[in-house]
């Protein structure tokens, strides 16, 4: 249990939340727990190596780095195709995407 809290606080941002109500805090915790479970499950089953790495991922940090790289790549790939949609979304929030 202590290992989970150390990993969740240090690498997944469990303690780095800026929320104003209980519902938002619970959503943040759920996202952190889901991310931890997803990464750990992929690490234990070899899924990260099959999908996102060409080397063995022996530590949680290596698995997290592979996961972040894959998500960044997928977001960038999506953004190149849907640039207008992303710009419209940012404009609806009052931001300018140039």
Residue at 98 is within a domain: no
1 pLDDT tier (thresholds 50, 70, 90) = low
CB 60: neighbour CB atoms within 10 A? 20
Number of domains the chain contains: 1
Domain hosting 74: range is: 2-92
**Residue 64 near residue 39, CB atoms below 8 Å:** yes
Residue at 22 is within a domain: yes
Q: How far apart are CA 95 and CA 93, in angstroms?
A: 6
E strand or H helix at 89: helix 83-92
Residue at 25 is within a domain: yes
Tens of pLDDT, residue by residue over 11-41, are 666 676 677 788 888 887 887 787 778 777 7
Tens of pLDDT, residue by residue over 47-72, are 655 566 777 766 767 777 777 787 88
* Residue of 56, 61, 57 lying closest to 7 (CA atoms): 61
């Amino acid at each position: 249990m202590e290992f989970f809290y150390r990993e969740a606080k240090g690498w997944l941002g469990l303690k780095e939340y800026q929320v104003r109500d209980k519902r938002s805090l619970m959503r943040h915790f759920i996202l952190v727990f889901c991310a931890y479970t997803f990464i750990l499950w992929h690490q234990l089953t070899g899924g990260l190596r099959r999908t996102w790495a060409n080397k063995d991922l022996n530590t949680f940090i290596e698995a997290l780095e592979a996961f972040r790289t894959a998500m960044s790549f997928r977001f960038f790939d999506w953004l190149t195709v849907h640039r207008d949609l992303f710009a419209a979304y940012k404009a609806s929030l009052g931001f300018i995407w140039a």
